[in-house]
Structure 1
Amino acid sequence: MDTARLAEIHAACFETPRPWSAVEFDALLASKAVFICQKPDGFIMGRIVADEAELLTIAVLPKAQRNGIGSQLMQAFETQVSDGNVGRVFLEVSAENAAAIALYHKFGFEQAGLRHGYYSTPERKKADALVMVKHQSN
Structure 2
Amino acid sequence: MAVPSTILDKARVLRANQTDAESLLWGILRGRRFCGVKFRRQHPVGGFILDFYCHDSLLAIELDGGGHAAEEQRAYDDERTRALEAAGIRVLRFWNNDVISNTDTVLAAVYEALFPSPLPLSPGARGEIKPSP
Q: TM-score with structure 2 length normalisation?
A: 0.37
| Greater share of residues in helix | 2
| Greater share of residues in strand | 1
Q: TM-score with structure 1 length normalisation?
A: 0.36
Higher relative contact order (CA 8 A, sep 6+): 1
